[in-house]
Amino acid sequence: MNTLAISLCIICQLFQVTGQLFLKKAMAPPGTGPGSGRVFAIRFVPGIVCLSLWFFIWLGVLQQQDLSHVYVFEGLNPALLAIAAWFLLAEHMNAKTWIGIAFICAGIAVVSAGQ
């Protein structure tokens, strides 16, 4: 894999994580005050845009690269999403979660080193 393909795979994962975070915020319990529909749209639309960008860039990467090489990057998604939720949404992560993220990252390193 070349540098461009690796960069596109990482950008894809960042778009996917960002889209998921926007959708999580959009799906928060609706407010009762005025403008709650606007708040939903402000969070929902960017989420859909980010996930759409992920999808179409990912299709382009799949068209050009071997699936066995690029699919390893999909393993980054759970780790990145958990870290982003912890950092940006103040979600609680216990020691088991951190250990799981470490195992995911180690597995990705092992698989990608063998490619």
Total length of the chain: 115
Taking every pair of Cα atoms in the chain, the longest distance, rounded to a whole number of angstroms, is 55
Report pLDDT for 16. 96
Whether 75 and 104 have beta carbons less than 8 Å apart is answered as yes
Task: Return the closest-CA partner of residue 31 out of 43, 20, 16, 21.
Answer: 43
Amino acid at 49: V
What is the spatial distance between Cα 47 and Cα 101, in angstroms, rounded to a whole number? 24
- Residue 93 tokens, joined: 């992560």
Whether 16 and 77 have beta carbons less than 8 Å apart is answered as yes
Report pLDDT for 34. 53
Sequence-ordered list of residues with C-beta below 8 angstroms from that of 85, at least 6 positions apart, any chain: 21, 24, 91
Report pLDDT for 47. 95
Sequence-ordered list of residues with C-beta below 8 angstroms from that of 86, at least 6 positions apart, any chain: 92, 93
12 band by pLDDT with thresholds 50, 70 and 90: very high
Counted domains in the chain? 1
Is residue 108 scored above 90 in pLDDT? no
pLDDT in tens, 40-82: 888 899 999 999 999 999 999 999 998 888 888 888 888 899 9
Report pLDDT for 33. 55
Is residue 32 scored above 70 in pLDDT? no
Is residue 107 scored above 90 in pLDDT? no
Please state the rounded mean pLDDT for residues 78-93.
Answer: 90
Report pLDDT for 14. 95
Report pLDDT for 87. 93
Domain that holds residue 74: 3-113
